[in-house]
Structure 1
């Protein structure tokens, strides 16, 4: 009898323990589902809040974001009619995602910089220009579905954003605007991937992927789809003509300046060690591309030619003429480098004056034109990636140069109209 009673007691005790463990497991699963639900609500609310703000200057303040989420979460708790409703403070303890990037560099921290400081590291004159670029790219709608180029050591594949970052927290803390900022730092300062990885608290593999992906994304969005930069018609050029040219009888029909720019590219680092060390030359270890960049009389880029190397660059003037042939009008003035006689004759047939700006000429008009060209080159070459394009970016050199030239248009005109 004692044995039967003990056995009965143990059975009830074990059954109770099993039911308690099952209850605990059910509570944990419910808690996990609630965390996942809260995370989705937080991210969705963040996106909705961003869209509701002004796109001209969408600064985000975490305090306002938290207030919005608190109202929504409290509303959700009331709708569920729980006997013991969870307060928002308790909810933050259960699941507290990071709402801002804790890395050394992120757009939130860059917003506090002066205009000069912001331009020094990004190439854009201020934070307003940054958000203008962000809006023009339509990042809020285009970026969520963007596929990222991933390098796995064998080749490259396209992966989703969550697959690229791997860690769940990185997807939430690294915003799309931070990825754009990373690319701007790469183009402006020509920083090594290892340097950017330390600044943004990322791996070098992710940094490399972001640079390739965003270069292709901007190029496809602005140059392929939006056909930028555009060669403006004669009336728009006249409307923005600087006073110095507008009041000049000879230069009031100035349409564009053509600048031939040589881009230096880093050679394969492995080949450097195969060269003679006692007669080493940087030029021997480099690749050189030539590109024609057209600018309007107020200093805005309006033309980017294809890149060419070696003897192929001799045909660039003809390529440029083919690009602008149908857009030229009678009496237009084009100022550019020395070109062949047959190309000049083609301009003459179009009743267009092609003027070569020699160094020896010191007339007021030519000095002003040289000053404009020098200012633009200073602005363009401030993007250090063009001084020595990293070897790993040679495969997208055309896109890098085109995007960099286009970024110069997000600054103020070099010569004002009045």
Structure 2
């Protein structure tokens, strides 16, 4: 009894391992015995698909393996499946495989990260409106011009790793290639990242997600490029022009009334966070803005081109004090004129150097402006409006419109200088 059960189990296991098979027929319409003596009926004359092995059925006579062929049920496969025999499979395995050396020869290291940033410089190159929106630059050729001037030095710049990482490195002095691991981003995309933060005021966490890098890497790129652009780009675009250059580009509106004007001065302020120190609070608080601010002095030529930007000072500093620290009076020549607002009480600095101070008249107690004083005030205001327009251009970079963290005090001056220098690439403020 036990022996019969074992035979039955063995037959079941054999059927599970046996592929679906069909019975071969000699002729579609014939019936009877074939030459091997196997009874062939018209019912099994055609090819039949069976779900189990025919060897498990009680057929009359003996079924030879020559009359049985293996074939997968077509109801369970697609027509384009190729079934290989054992000999064909072994022959396929004998084909030569490419060596490791050949594989290396066909592999190219493109030197970029696996996951591409959400936006690259190629995404905006065909639309100047996109270039202006994301970078604050007027056109894509202007962007390429800046990159071409900076790329050689940018390839070997040392990335910020804290205050101890500042200073020139040995490989930079010798002109060798920068050592260490490869960059996470291309130079072009690093530049785009920095410009997007300047123009849109995006947080570092946001930029890290957009460019598929860590926040730490994004912060290092930001601090490195801000210092690099302040050292290389700002002097390239913005400098103190000669007296001859100012005179040759003097607009007609200035030439008629104030032909000796060398520079127009004005101050602007950037909001910042409230510090914990009581002394720092008193220094940063601005009565004009009623907020904690940093103050910057900006000077433009009569043609509307920025020619002077100071570092950021505490918001409580006076216009006279910041002008004195800037050294702008010493930069002017004998006979020049400086146009300022009423807050710049610097006549004691300009008069000894024979420098004219163009300033609106002050109103005295119990006395109205004369007709001449009203006309002078109106005339100066109409010309000084251009420095206000320049301030608006600078504030197009939205990083200057929000409240800058107090931790950004070491980069605030460079950020403002970079934004001011980039506006030089814009169309002229004053025409003719």
TM-score (norm 1): 0.63
Residue 109 of structure 1, CA deviation: 0.8
Distance 1:161 1:258 in 2: 45
The change in CA–CA distance for 1:216 and 1:394 in structure 2 (over 3 A counts) is same
Which structure is higher in helix share? 1
Q: Is the 8 A contact 1:251 1:365 kept in 2?
A: no
The change in CA–CA distance for 1:334 and 1:203 in structure 2 (over 3 A counts) is same
Mapping 1:89-108, distance limit 5 Å: 102-108=116-122
3-state SS in 1 of match to 2:202: coil
| Cα offsets for 1:376-400 (capped at 9, x unmatched) | 1110111111122244422222211
Residue 372 of structure 1, CA deviation: 0.7
Q: Is the 8 A contact 2:229 2:418 kept in 1?
A: yes
Mapping 1:199-214, distance limit 5 Å: 199-214=210-225
3-state SS in 2 of match to 1:125: coil
Give the counterpart of 2:99 among 24, 27, 31: 27
Give the counterpart of 2:139 among 120, 126, 146: 126
Question: Which residue matches 1:74?
Answer: none
Note the residue ranges of structure 2 that are not aligned, 5 or more in a row: 1-95, 170-177, 278-288, 363-368
Deviates more, 1:155-164 or 1:343-352: 155-164
Give the counterpart of 2:339 among 335, 339, 342: 335
Give the counterpart of 1:315 among 314, 321, 345: 321
Q: Is 1:239 the equivalent of 2:248?
A: yes
Note the residue ranges of structure 1 that are not aligned, 5 or more in a row: 1-22, 44-96, 166-170, 272-282
Question: Which residue matches 2:265?
Answer: 258
Distance 1:227 1:148 in 2: 22
Distance 2:247 2:127 in 1: 36
3-state SS in 1 of match to 2:155: helix
Mapping 1:10-25, distance limit 5 Å: none
Mapping 1:392-403, distance limit 5 Å: 392-403=407-418
Residue 257 of structure 1, CA deviation: 0.8
Distance 1:374 1:315 in 2: 21
Distance 2:353 2:343 in 1: 16
Distance 1:184 1:267 in 2: 27
Q: Is the 8 A contact 2:266 2:298 kept in 1?
A: yes
Question: Which residue matches 1:376?
Answer: 390
Q: Is 1:348 the equivalent of 2:389?
A: no
Mapping 1:71-220, distance limit 5 Å: 102-115=116-129, 117-137=130-150, 139=151, 141-150=152-161, 163=181, 165=183, 171=184, 174-220=185-231
3-state SS in 2 of match to 1:266: coil
The change in CA–CA distance for 1:372 and 1:323 in structure 2 (over 3 A counts) is closer
The change in CA–CA distance for 1:162 and 1:198 in structure 2 (over 3 A counts) is farther
Residue 33 of structure 1, CA deviation: 4.7
Question: Which residue matches 2:293?
Answer: 288
Instruction: From the CA coordinates, give the structure whose radius of gyration is larger.
Output: 2
